[in-house]
Structures are given as structure tokens and as C-alpha cells.
Amino acid sequence: MYNNHIVQEDLKRITNQNINFQNLYNKNILITGANGMLASYYMYVLMYLNDKKDANIKIYALVRNVEKLKQLTEFSKRKDIIPIVQDVCNKIEVPEKLDYIIHMASSANPKTITKDPVGIINANVIGTQNVLELARKNNAEVIFTSTREVYGKLDDSTSKVSEADMGALECLDLRSCYPESKRMAENLIVSYAYEYGVKYKITRIAHVYGPGMIIDNDGRIMSDLISNVVKKENIVLKSTGEAKRAFCYVSDAITALLTITVDTKANEVYNIANETEEISIKELAFMLKGMYENSDVIFDIQENKNQYVKFARTPLDVSKLEKLGWKPEISLVNGIKNTVEYFDEI
């Protein structure tokens, strides 16, 4: 994946941004959940900086099991990548002092919610506490990828969701295992900052897609529709498609994460989203049909009570992030083209 030309173009664009990458040079960085889309891209940027800028960044890549490690075989001959094979829910030990921990080990797959909700909670809560204990011992800064779902159901008068807003979650709803445990993880982080002085940045991320995303039986709408296109199948909607989303291409999300990482102000929370092209699921499906004419749109309406968020979407306010100099650059059409082209080549 690292050498794929779409990925390399993304990495070149990311590293040409006005970001103080020097703050990462000569640092030891642990990335948890390192085989995930966002985590992999974050790691690729560090590798690219090593390859092109002699940044001398040492990367510890934590993955859950040997099968996950096999997905990182392209790193096996690199001296700057040190794999750690374990569950994040077990005590984490690293032989060198760490400067940053990029904590991304978590499942957001809607289908996992009905299969392993306890596992989701454990990764977000026990896993986060293990990360924080490691950060405490190393005096390392934690960058935590949370979710827009922590905001819950907001008052109908809310037009944009800022980092200070918070709505309701139904704790007896199985679907809440994901956002409730992310909320607890955020509170753990704040508590470790208060009691032990651990530095952190929390990012609440919305609807990221791109090369490296899971498209086989994932359950998230963009993943499923991209899968239909790549496999030259009909585009299948399991609802009427009236729900609206705003999607953020992976390179824009990574640029945001890196901008936040290197910023000198710690103990902050940021929204990450591209709110410039809100679109309904139905409109997205017909957009894909128009872009890739070998498919038709089929409605196969199903009721999936436990897998998906039940309340209406409210746009995220990203003005705090924009004040750091970030803005999204990749349009929805171009992001989809990049993603499909990537999968056509692997």
C-alpha cells in the first residue's frame, strides 16, 4: 500500500503542507491499531519523512495479532518500523522512551457492535488506560482519535456542533457501546492529565474514507458503496437514503491529525470533518452510478436497529481546527476517484 501511486501522491501532498514536521524529527512514536486506515496513513507519513527528509523517526506499530501483522509485511525490512504484536487491552511495554503515542486502536465497524460490543468497550476503556499508563511512565503526549458520535443527540436548535457541546446517549441501547466507551476514554484522558500531568490532544473525527479502508462486509455506507463499485456490482441501498453525511478524504484527515500533533498547545479537543459537501446517501449512490456506469442503484431496505445511529446528523464546527491553518483540499468526487483507483490496482 505504501508504494501505491495514489498513496504516494497523497503523502507528497500531505508533507508539502505548512506543518511544522520538524517537531516529529528524531522522535520515538507509538501508533496503536497500526493496521487501520488512519493509523496506516499516519505511519506512512512518518515513513515518507524518513525516506525523503531523513527525519530519523522511530515508529512502534502495535497490532493485535499475527494476522494483523501480516498486513504490514511491506515494513518487514525497514529499520524504522518496530512491530508490537499484542492486544491493546494488555499491558504495553516499549524498550525506549516514547515522545508521542498516537492511540487509534478501536473498532468502528457497525457489524462488530452486534457481534462483540464488550470487545469494543474493552479496547476503548481498558486499552486507553494502558496507553495512558505508558504515557505517564514515558512523559509522552497522547493523541487520541475519538468520534463525532460522543456528541449524542443534540437539541434541535443546534446548527453546528462545537467541541463544547454535548448531547444525550441512551446507555441501554446496544449501539451506545461505541460512543459511550469513547466518552469514557476521553474522561480517562482528562483524569490522567489532572492527576498525573499526562499531556493529550483529543480528536473527534467524522466519516473518513480513502485508500486502505475496509470494503469487505464493513457496514459503513461509504465502504459498502465503494465495495459495490470496485466489484462492479449494483449499488445497493439498505434504506431510503434520505440520511445525510459529509465525508472527509483520508489525506485531509491525516493533515488535520498531524497539524494537531505538532501544535505546541496541549490538552485540547478538536473536531475533524469536511463539512463542505453535505450529501444524502441516495444522492451519493446516484453520483457513483453516474461516475461508474456499470452499476445501477438497487433499494433493499432493511431494519438494522442496533448498528446505526438513530438521530439526525448535525454538522461539526471545525473553526478551532481551521485556526491552526488546516482546511480540506480533496473534493468528494476526487476522493472517490482516488479510492476506487487505489482498489482497482491492489
d(Cα 119, Cα 134) in Å, to the nearest integer? 21
Active site residues: 178
d(Cα 165, Cα 25) in Å, to the nearest integer? 35
CB contact at 8 A, 267 and 150: no
Cell numbers at 74, concatenated: 511491506
Sign, CA dihedral 304-207-314-121, equals positive
Backbone conformation region of residue 301, classed left if phi is above 0, alpha if psi is from -120 to 50, else beta: beta
CB contact at 8 A, 257 and 144: no
pTM: 0.94
97, 85, 73: which is closest to 33 by C-alpha? 85
Cell numbers at 167, concatenated: 448531547
Domain boundaries, the chain: 5-212+248-276+310-331
Architecture label for domain 5-212+248-276+310-331: 3-Layer(aba) Sandwich (3.40)
Per-residue pLDDT tens listing for the chain (346 residues): 899 999 999 999 999 999 999 999 999 999 999 999 999 999 999 999 999 999 999 999 999 877 766 666 566 678 999 999 999 999 999 999 999 999 999 988 888 888 999 999 999 999 999 999 999 999 999 999 999 999 999 988 889 999 999 999 999 999 899 999 999 999 999 999 999 999 999 999 999 999 999 998 888 899 999 999 999 999 888 888 888 999 999 999 999 999 999 999 999 999 999 999 999 999 999 999 999 986 789 888 776 554 555 567 899 999 999 999 999 999 999 999 999 999 998 8
The strand pair at 28-32 and 58-63 is best described as: parallel
d(Cα 88, Cα 90) in Å, to the nearest integer? 5
